[in-house]
Structure 1
Amino acid sequence: MSDSRLSRRAALRLGLSASAMLCAPTLLRAQDWNADADGPVPGQVYQPKVQRNTSSFRAAQWQDHFDSRKNGVILCDTTSRVVHFWNEEGTIYKLYPSSVPLTEDLTRLGYTEVVQKVVGPTWRPTPSMLERNPTLPEVVGPGPDNPLGSHALYLSWTYYRIHGTHDTRKIGRKSSSGCIGLYNSQIQELFDLAKVGTQVRLI
């Protein structure tokens, strides 16, 4: 009788463990999805969580890409689809999920810098964008329909920006015509941390 009870108890424990193992990934996926779907909490840095629209994350060191941290440095990783920021003093490091260009043709890699900071930027399609889609509006002012979101860091390369987006579905995806996009709450944080002259590299 006792052997039988022990066997049933052991089987029950094994069954519960197996059920827990089967349920855990589902719960984790649900938590990840909800965190992504609900959008970021202001002031909190998110890493991409939904595998369907992100690539594998790669750690980075600023020393591998810049000679110094003068004026702060921004590294945009178009493979991992994240943006790294280090301040000049080395006391602040931030990591943000980002959108990246749709194709290699639209992707410009290399060194540039922040040349202008704009709150409530005005968007104008580039000549190549109009060539691909002549129905685009000539100009879109600040507001919820603006593709540049709430803030933009203008780079020394013509037409290239690190900017926000009102369409959070784009984050973690190949979805832009060349720019790097962040959640509005996170571009606002990066906007406050960066300055004109902040070094930028796209890899």
Structure 2
Amino acid sequence: MADRSTNKLGRRAFLAGSAAALASPALAQDVNGAGTTEIERELNSAVRRNISSFRTLDWQPYFSNLSGGAILVDLSSRALHYWQETGTYHLYPCSVPLTEDLTRRGRTSVTLKDPSPDWRPTPSMKKRNPEWPDYVGPGPDNPLGTRSMHLSWQYYRIHGTHDTRKIGRRSSNGCIGLYNEHVEELYEMVQVGAQVLLI
């Protein structure tokens, strides 16, 4: 009798443990597959697709130097990579433009750092969305979040957002959006003149 209850408990513990493993975040999984069980290997093949966009990159294929720091935005993987002049590397999930016609690729640079951004819709945004306000001052309702870095392209910025649902998605009108805590961290490191490449 004792053996049966122990056996039931063992089965329950195994099922609970399996459910916990399935529910655990993708980043907690061992994506290398070394020393994993068959179930973990199956999970990892699915997990790879989910986190492949957040693989680390080297700066050399994209920049000739790190003078002033370098930002690479990978629009397809929705990730922003930043290398400080020292080579220290940072990786952030981001939001990217909704459609290809709103997307701009190529080389630009940071021209202005705004510690308390206000927002005005561009003429094309206002045309598409006439109900939008003409102006939103700094604060909790500001679409640019808590920090903004202007690029040399008119109307394009790297900025924060209070709408965290947008991160990791095609959701912007052309800008690159970050979680507010990430844009605040990046803002402190980035210098005006930093190289920026959108691919």
Shorter-chain TM range is 0.7 to 0.9
| Residues 1:54 and 1:178: Cα distance change in structure 2 (over 3 Å) | farther
What pairs up with 1:1-203 in 2 under 5 angstroms? 16-17=13-14, 19-26=16-23, 28-29=24-25, 56-90=53-87, 92-203=88-199
Residue 80 of structure 1 and its aligned partner are, at CA, apart by: 1.2
Q: TM-score scaled by structure 1? A: 0.78
Q: List runs of 5+ in structure 1 lacking aligned partners.
A: 33-49
- Contact 1:82/1:98 (CA < 8 Å) preserved in 2? yes
- Which amino acid in the other structure matches residue 91 of structure 2? L
RMSD: 2.9
Distance 1:150 1:119 in 2: 7
For residues 66-112 of structure 1, give each alpha carbon's deviation from its aligned partner in whole angstroms, at most 9, with x where no partner exists: 1110100001111111111111121x211111111111111101100
Alpha-carbon distance change, 22 to 184 in structure 1, aligned in 2, over 3 angstroms: closer
Identity of aligned residues (%): 54
Task: Compute the displacement of 1:21 (Å).
Answer: 2.2
- Which amino acid in 1 is paired with 2:71? I
Alpha-carbon distance in 2 for matches of 1:23, 1:190: 34
Q: How far apart are the structure 2 equivalents of 1:54 and 1:163?
A: 23
Q: 5+ residue gaps in structure 2? A: 29-46
* Secondary structure, aligned partner of 1:131: helix
User: Could you list the runs of 4 or more consecutive aligned residues of structure 1 that deviate by over 4 angstroms after TM superposition?
Assistant: 7-16, 29-32
CA contact (8 A) 1:118 1:152 kept: yes
